[in-house]
Homo-oligomer: A and B are copies of this chain.
Amino acid sequence: MIGIFDSGIGGMTVARAVEQLLPGYPLIYFGDIARTPYGTKSPETIIDYSLRNTDFLLKKGASLIIIACNTASSVATDRLRQEFQVPIIEVVTPAAEKAITRTKTGRIGIIGTRATVKSDIYNRIITGRHPEFKVFSQACPLLVPLVEEGWINKRETKMIIRRYLHPLQTNQIDTLVLGCTHYPLLKELIQARIGRHVHLIDSSVEAARYLQKLLQEQPDLVQKSDEQSVEHTYYVSDLTDSAQHVAAEIFGRPMELHHV
Contacts and interface: CB of A to CB of B under 8 A. Distances in A.
Interface of A: 33-36, 40-42, 44-45, 114, 141-142, 145-146, 148-149, 151, 155-156, 159-160, 163, 237-240, 242
A40 B242 contact: yes
Contact of A142 (B36, B41, B146, B237): B146
What is the count of identical protomers in the complex?
2
Contact of A42 (B36, B151, B240): B240
B33 A41 contact: yes
Contacts of A42: 238-240
A221 B106 CA distance: 66
Main secondary structure of the interface of A (DSSP, over half): helix
A37 to B, nearest CB: 9
The 9 closest A-B pairs by CB, nearest first: A145-B145, A45-B238, A34-B45, A156-B159, A42-B238, A35-B35, A156-B156, A41-B238, A156-B160
Contacts of A141: 145, 149
Given A142-B146, A142-B149, A155-B159, 19 more contacts: A33-B41, A34-B35, A34-B41, A35-B35, A36-B40, A40-B148, A40-B240, A40-B242, A41-B238, A41-B240, A42-B238, A42-B239, A42-B240, A45-B237, A141-B149, A142-B142, A156-B156, A156-B163, A159-B159
